[in-house]
């Protein structure tokens, strides 16, 4: 298993996804995915494609140059007890309907599902390879997300498999590809039907939907075409600064009666729709957020970029300290996810989790 080569292959995969969506936009003359609009400039489409692909190679470069030869220290998080965390989350989710995309509920038990975030714990488990412990927890992780009518867990588990794949598993994957493609298509149809969304091309829905969701070219093409409006709207009193959003990210808001704050992710979809959308946002890639911030105020925009870079460096440092030479899997996903979504939660939650892990590492040293 060579994580560096596998993350390289995943980076190439992301680049082809961007290219595919670029061709789709050029062919159809409109942006699909969350935007479904013709309101974009062809002059910015090529730039959006180049920036998107450069973003993925930046992730790969950051992970590669920060690789360490140190041995992992997080022995506490390698135990079989982690399966109990997934079982508890599964029971709470099914019992209370927490996190559902259709009928979300409020429960005092919700804090128990956030103390140890599953989407980062699964990365910690996955570092040790495709073993029984990972197979069990990844199955429960996907089951929880599917019950919530979400598909993010499937994509994350797919990423982990890509990074851990061996020649034997790759051969098996190729042999099962028709079956996996059929199952994936049916899962996406299930999501659309459950959410009451229209299906235009059921046979190709997996390919079109997943690539539209992953590709940063789409929000970048739209954002760059409407940069002046976004620079003005995204900095009015309706939207919080990234510093405020970062500060509130890891606080259980319902317990303390704190309202959710809106960021660039909310601004982008509200500007597109021309109306307010409560507690709903779309991917707003980091590069687009930086351009929006600099277009509004150059000094504040640069300050925002430096703030984000400092958080990324901190995550890299603590990841290397805790996971040693097995840290690439965690670092790549965290940095990729944030550059992809632009959601400050994508930095603050994994940073909180790393601090939690580092405390156990320090305690075990004594």
Confidence (pLDDT) at 355: 92
The neighbour count for residue 93, using CB atoms within 10 Å, is 21
State the Cα–Cα distance between residues 195 and 191, nearest whole angstrom: 6
pLDDT at 239: 85
Rounded to an integer, what distance in angstroms lies between the CA atom of residue 68 and that of residue 60? 15
User: Is residue 303 scored above 70 in pLDDT?
Assistant: yes
Residue range 171-214, pLDDT digits in tens: 887 888 888 888 887 887 777 777 766 766 666 777 788 888 89
DSSP 287-305: HHHHHHHHHH-HHHHHHHH
pLDDT given at position 73: 83
Q: Strand pairing partners for 279?
A: none
pLDDT, averaged across the chain: 84
Q: In the predicted model, what is the mean pLDDT of residues 265-279?
A: 81
Q: Where are the alpha helices (DSSP H) in the chain?
A: 3-28, 42-65, 82-96, 118-126, 132-147, 152-164, 167-175, 177-194, 205-214, 217-225, 227-233, 242-248, 253-256, 264-273, 286-296, 298-323, 328-341, 345-365
pLDDT digits (tens, 9 = 90+) for 150-164: 888 999 999 998 888
pLDDT band, residue 366 (cuts 50/70/90): low
**Quick check: 1 pLDDT over 60?**
no
Average pLDDT in the 80-104 region?
81
Q: How much is the pLDDT for 112?
A: 67
User: What is the pLDDT, as a whole number, of residue 110?
Assistant: 66
CA 150 to each of CA 131, 156, 194: distance values in angstroms, whole numbers, following the listed order:
25, 12, 11
Three-class SS of residue 204? Answer: helix
- Angle value at C-alpha 336, between 333 and 342, nearest 5 degrees: 125
- Give the model confidence (pLDDT) of 14-28 as tens digits: 999 999 989 988 887
pLDDT of 279 over the 70 cut? no
Q: Quick check: 299 pLDDT over 90?
A: yes
Q: Which of 39-53, 59-73, 250-264 has the highest mean pLDDT?
A: 59-73
Angstrom distance (rounded) from CA 44 to CA 354: 38
pLDDT at 163: 86
- pLDDT computed for residue 278 by the predictor: 72
Q: Has residue 148 got a pLDDT over 60?
A: yes
**Are the C-beta atoms of residues 148 and 93 closer than 8 Å to each other?**
yes
Q: What are phi and psi of 31, to 5 degrees?
A: -90, 135
252: confidence class by pLDDT, cuts 50, 70, 90: low
Residue 336: name the closest of 47, 1, 6, 7 by CA: 7
pLDDT(221) > 80: yes
Mean pLDDT, to the nearest integer, of 322-346? 92
| pLDDT tier for residue 99 given thresholds of 50, 70 and 90 | low
Q: What is the pTM of this model?
A: 0.90
Nearest to 265 by CA among 346, 159, 348: 346
pLDDT at 37: 60
> What is the band of 39 on the pLDDT scale with cuts at 50, 70, 90?
low
């Amino acid at each position: 298993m060579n994580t560096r080569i596998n993350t390289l292959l995943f980076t190439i995969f992301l680049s082809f996804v961007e290219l595919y969506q670029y061709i789709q936009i050029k062919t159809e003359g409109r942006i699909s995915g969350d935007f479904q609009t013709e309101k974009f400039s062809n002059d910015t489409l090529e730039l959006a494609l180049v920036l998107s692909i450069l973003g993925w190679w930046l992730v790969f470069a950051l992970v590669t140059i920060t690789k360490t030869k140190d041995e992992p220290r997080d022995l506490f998080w390698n135990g079989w007890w982690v399966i109990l965390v997934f079982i508890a989350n599964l029971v709470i989710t099914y019992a209370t309907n927490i996190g559902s995309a259709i009928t979300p509920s409020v429960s005092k038990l919700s804090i128990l599902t956030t103390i140890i975030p599953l989407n980062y714990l699964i990365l910690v488990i996955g570092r040790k390879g495709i073993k029984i412990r990972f197979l069990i927890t990844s199955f429960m992780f996907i089951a929880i997300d599917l019950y919530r009518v979400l598909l993010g867990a499937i994509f994350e588990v797919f990423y982990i498999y890509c990074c851990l794949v061996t020649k034997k598993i790759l051969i098996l994957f190729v042999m099962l590809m028709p079956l996996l493609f059929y199952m994936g298509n049916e899962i996406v149809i299930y999501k659309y039907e459950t959410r009451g969304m229209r299906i235009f091309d059921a046979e190709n829905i997996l390919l079109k939907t997943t690539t539209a969701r992953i590709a940063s070219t789409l929000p970048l093409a739209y954002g760059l075409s409407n940069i002046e409006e976004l620079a003005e709207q995204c900095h009015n009193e309706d939207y919080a600064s990234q510093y405020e959003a970062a500060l509130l990210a890891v606080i259980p808001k319902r317990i303390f009666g704190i309202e959710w704050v809106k960021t660039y992710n909310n601004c982008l979809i509200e500007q597109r729709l021309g109306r307010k959308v409560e507690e709903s946002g779309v991917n707003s890639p980091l590069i687009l957020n930086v351009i929006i911030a600099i277009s509004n105020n150059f000094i504040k925009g640069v300050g925002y970029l430096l703030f984000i870079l400092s958080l990324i460096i901190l995550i890299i440092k603590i990841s290397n300290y805790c996971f040693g030479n097995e840290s690439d899997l965690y670092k790549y996903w965290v940095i990729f996810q944030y550059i992809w979504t632009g959601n400050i939660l994508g930095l603050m939650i994994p940073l909180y989790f790393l601090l939690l892990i580092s405390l156990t590492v320090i305690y075990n040293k004594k």
